[in-house]
Chains A and B, each alone.
Chain A
Amino acid sequence: MQKNHLIELLTQKDNRKKKSKIPARLDFLQSATGAVLVLFIIFHLLFESSILLGKDAMYALTKAFELDFIFEGGEPLFIAFLAFGVFVVFILHALLAMRKFPSSYREYSAYRLHAKMIQHSDTSLWFIQITTGFMMFFLGSIHLYTMMTQPDKIGPFASADRIYSDTMWPMYLLLLVSVVLHASVGLYRLIIKWGWFEREKSKWMIKAATIFYLGIGLVSLGAYMKIGYEHRGEYGKRYTVEIKK
């Protein structure tokens, strides 16, 4: 073992008697990965709700992500690459954010009792942040693993079949609520943490965005359910085959 490590173990400082810069890097990375994921989800939810504009719009968008303007017919592998990239950022963010979770009953009960006593909205919001974050460890992983392993099964019928016939809708419903709430509270915290914008205006705008994204998310999930229900007899049949032939 390197002697410098032993010095840090014994003195909490390095051999120049300086504090580690790792906490600063971790703090920055937690915010940076969070910001990337917020940006991603802002566009992801808009794109997946393209189903509200019709099956053709959703199909065209899916094919565009498969780079069909370069590769004829599209290449789903690009979606898998994108999902893998998001998965790496997602895991890194989860790892960094876990540092802030209550790590014992004492910490958990201290937070809960204090939040109950003080009735302060920003303090209470933290419970939503950690609860939705915890839920997404599992829900986000399921979704991203599906996208990495079955990137070809995205489309008006394929997605609807997965949601309705494969009974994935409860998972997507929970994931939608978790991701929108987590991203909203997370973005609000980022703004305050780094002093980017004025707090009250940001709060108002983020509240409006939360309602908007929950709205389009729920309505488009409903649309996929409807398509999946109507398509249940032809489960597995692709939209492209039906229309293009």
Chain B
Amino acid sequence: MHRIYEDGGREIVLTIFRHDPNNEDSIPHFQDYPIIERPGMTLYIALTQIYTSMDHDVSFDFVCRAGICGSCAMVVNGKPRLACRTLTSEFSEGKITLLPLPTFQHIKDLSVDTGTFMNAMTKQVEGWIVNNSPQDISTIEKPVEPELSDEIFELDRCIECGICLASCATKVMRPNFVGAVGLNRVARFSLDPHDSRSDEEFYELIGDDEGIFGCMSLMGCQDHCPKHLPLQKQIAYMRNKMVKVR
């Protein structure tokens, strides 16, 4: 039973996974941090309070505090989420267990290295505009239909937080799987008329079991994506294209 204070704050307990894989003496364990919940408190605020007033050794990542940068992704009571977009009041029992994202290299406590994977993935799927036809910068760029632009910008909303990968059992089992973030990226450039690559060329990037054919449609990616991207639709779109490549 948690105490409710006169000013309305209730006592909640954050249980944090503690481990430093770079320290041989570090033993993985969970540590409880009881704090007083305040109105509108997010996990980011709670963690900052723990860091500033209780334990200066606890590690976690954040940058924007507004669900834009994707740095604060972590596993909250079993579900991969963004700490800055998660209110502590969502957990009626007042018990919140925090883990680092699986599938990424663990740095310390709740901090993981998503950058190395995202960098490698970008290179693997060549996640940029490729257009080898001669460009004349003195002419106006060919316009893109607004509906198509909207569709492309929708996919561009991906913040590369890594939640889709941490939610994907295929990725957990098969570390070389490129995951929804990579397949979404390919779909985005496949839609873009500025990109001249053919389906045959995209096949060379994702046409194997580590790419599009590795996806088993377990839907963890889409169901946990904090930006609510239509990931499975994009994966189905690319799969339909890739099986037709001769």
List the interface of chain A (C-beta within 8 A of B).
Answer: 18-21, 23-28, 99-100, 102, 107, 110-111, 114-115, 117-120, 122-123, 126, 189, 192-195, 199
* Chain B residue at minimal CB-CB distance from A112: B169
- Given known pairs A23-B207, A195-B236, the reply for A126 and B216 (CB within 8 Å) is yes
**Residues from chain A with Cβ under 8 Å of B169 in the complex:** 110-111, 114-115, 118, 123, 126
Q: For the complex, is B237 an interface residue (Cβ under 8 Å from A)? A: yes
- Given known pairs A18-B204, A118-B220, the reply for A193 and B236 (CB within 8 Å) is yes
CB distance from B197 to the nearest CB of A (A): 14
Choose one: B208, B220, B236; the contact of A123 (CB below 8 Å): B220
User: Interface with A: B22-30, B44-52, B238-246, which one?
Assistant: B238-246
CB distance from A69 to the nearest CB of B (A): 40
A selection of 18 A-B contacts at a CB cut-off of 8 Å is A18-B204, A21-B246, A23-B213, A24-B203, A24-B243, A24-B245, A27-B243, A107-B174, A110-B169, A110-B172, A111-B169, A117-B99, A118-B78, A118-B169, A120-B167, A123-B218, A189-B217, A192-B219
- Given known pairs A110-B173, A114-B102, A120-B167, the reply for A23 and B208 (CB within 8 Å) is yes
**Residues from chain A with Cβ under 8 Å of B213 in the complex:** 23-24, 26-27
* Chain A residue at minimal CB-CB distance from B208: A23
CA distance A26 to B224 in the complex (A): 29
The 5 closest A-B CB pairs, nearest first, are A195-B236, A122-B219, A27-B213, A107-B173, A192-B217
**Residues from chain B with Cβ under 8 Å of A123 in the complex:** 169, 218-220
B205-246 vs A, CB cutoff 8 Å, 1 = contact: the mask equals 001110001011111100110000000110011011011011
Count, A-B residue pairs, CB within 8 A: 90
Task: Establish whether residues B78 and A119, one from each chain, have CB atoms under 8 Å apart when the complex forms.
Answer: yes
CB distance from B82 to the nearest CB of A (A): 16
Q: For the complex, is B106 an interface residue (Cβ under 8 Å from A)? A: no
CB distance from B15 to the nearest CB of A (A): 14
Interface SS of B by simple majority = mixed
Task: Establish whether residues B167 and A118, one from each chain, have CB atoms under 8 Å apart when the complex forms.
Answer: yes
CA distance A29 to B173 in the complex (A): 23
CA distance A21 to B243 in the complex (A): 8
Task: Establish whether residues A193 and B173, one from each chain, have CB atoms under 8 Å apart when the complex forms.
Answer: no
- Given known pairs A100-B216, A111-B169, A111-B173, the reply for A118 and B79 (CB within 8 Å) is yes
**Residues from chain B with Cβ under 8 Å of A110 in the complex:** 169, 172-173
CA distance A162 to B86 in the complex (A): 59
CA distance A195 to B102 in the complex (A): 28
